[in-house]
Chain A
């Protein structure tokens, strides 16, 4: 089978799972970036030096895992891109951190309450660029130039026979304030000036969704990754969650679906309370991607006939467990969740995951 045929087979397999049809086998999608660097013996500082370097290392790592892997979540790492999502600084290995330390959000209050007004008056795009360059010292233009090579990065995987699960990545708009204001200050704003926060979020949402539509039309992705990482039910009262998380999550997912892609809902944290809301999204068009904090069996019980489920071999297991423990858990969810499962780690594979454990996870599908 040629790589092109392999790729077509993997895309068809994934499409079946998303459409809630029975695939020939469970697809395996690796959500990984820093792990690839460690796997390939590359220092994290070197890995983070450019998106091109990240892509090279990630392609090598996926190839080394073998053809049983269907694909990878994104064509490059997340660390350099965090400021675009969280409006906050990120400490990088080799710069603010030692060479082999994982990147870290440097969360502090940089955005001010007055910035809500600026965003409402002047719009998000102009504010964001100036804010990132002047307040965070982010290499905005360089990063945009690098992102412009996105199709080449995708091709590097596809030519090797591996799909890029989500060539387009989006985040719900509340992330910008959760990071930029810092979470404690953002929470206080929700308590004291909710109307102003919502007005600013509406401005960001309108512009973000317009850009997202363009990206989907340009890349024609099968899936779009949508992260409401700090939107977990556990962090908000029901009323605030509905107003400041679900409203934007649902609207963005609907745009993704309207543009012809499936929405991968990257659900970190505990969302158990609000699982029923997800039934409002179209059937067979979404993937509930759990990091394991929301119990995968509960997700199946509530949403199993409505959307695919992706996950959830935990970082604890991949970094601290044994291959037998990983194999046993992965095999169990493959069996129990059934044909609607996309096997993956719960959130990203950590850099200290053991290679033999990742292989054990894959072998739950391909055989040992």
Chain B
């Protein structure tokens, strides 16, 4: 089972991205399950995804997220035992640092071949968020395999995409960086590349 871990601050566009990624996985006939780990109104519309034929599991964690990683791991193990999916997409809470989730999944998760981390960044709010919460945003970006710089269509006249990309590159020079507008249709080649990288370059598996 390959896990695509999607993280990014609240409102960055994780849901929109996941919807299209999920559709791609369905079109490629791979069994896919989604875990929603986000709280609040910006979470995934699980009804929508359920209508599309996905298994959606919601993980809740009381007040903040102190117990979420354990619950998430239990959910992953239960999904592996019940569905044996080829792909598992996990949306983490926007306040999470992926490293903690990955550490717990690596120690206690079952049936996991590989975990690939995608961080969604809101290009329009990048300067604002880097001023308000630089530590969290930097930590998230630094742990990414892929940084999706979303909402480039919403960058205002004073915005500077090149500067956003440069700053992301300074934080994490290892990750692939893709600017896009998830509100529009994301090109299939992007998801194909994502899945290829998530498998570690192997094309043997479904999707």
Contacts and interface: CB of A to CB of B under 8 A. Distances in A.
Nearest to B41: A108
Nearest to A104: B60
Contacts of B67: 315, 319, 347-348, 350
A142 interface: no
A234 B132 contact: no
Contact of B131 (A97, A191, A270, A347): A191
A191 B128 contact: yes
A278 interface: no
B167 interface: no
A202 interface: no
Interface stretch (B22-30, B80-88, B134-142, B170-178): B134-142
B207 interface: no
* Residue from A182, A184, A314 with most neighbouring chain B CB atoms (10 Å): A184
A56 interface: no
Nearest to A91: B60
Contacts of B11: 184
A347 B64 CA distance: 10
Interface string B190-205: 0000000000000000
Interface string A60-93: 0000000000000000001100100010000000
Looking at B95, B132, B134, which has the most chain A CB atoms within 10 Å of its CB?
B132
B112 to A, nearest CB: 14
Interface stretch (A119-127, A153-161, A235-243, A302-310): A235-243
Contacts of A332: none
Most buried by A among B60, B104, B131, B135: B135
Nearest to B138: A234
Interface stretch (B46-54, B70-78, B146-154): B70-78
A105 B70 CA distance: 18
B134 A237 contact: yes
Indicate the size class of the contact surface on chain A: 35 or more
Interface string B1-31: 0000000011100000000000000000000
Q: How large is the interface on B (under 10, 10 to 19, 20 to 34, 35 or more residues)?
A: 35 or more
Interface string A230-265: 100111110010000000000000000000000000
A320 B104 contact: yes
B40 interface: yes
A249 B189 CA distance: 50
B76 to A, nearest CB: 11
Contact of B133 (A107, A187, A315): A187
Interface in A138-193: 182-184, 187-188, 190-191
A268 interface: yes
B66 A348 contact: yes
A315 B66 contact: yes
A314 B129 CA distance: 29
Given A316-B73, A319-B67, A350-B71, A235 B136 contact: yes
B42 interface: yes
Interface string A84-122: 001000000000010001111111110000000000000
Contacts of B10: 182-184
A319 B95 CA distance: 22
Contacts of B135: 233-235, 237, 270, 273
A229 B41 CA distance: 20
Given A108-B41, A229-B63, A191 B133 contact: no
B32 interface: no
A105 B95 contact: no
Given A104-B39, A187-B133, 15 more contacts: A101-B60, A106-B39, A107-B40, A107-B41, A184-B42, A233-B135, A234-B133, A234-B136, A240-B132, A268-B64, A269-B95, A315-B70, A316-B70, A319-B70, A350-B67
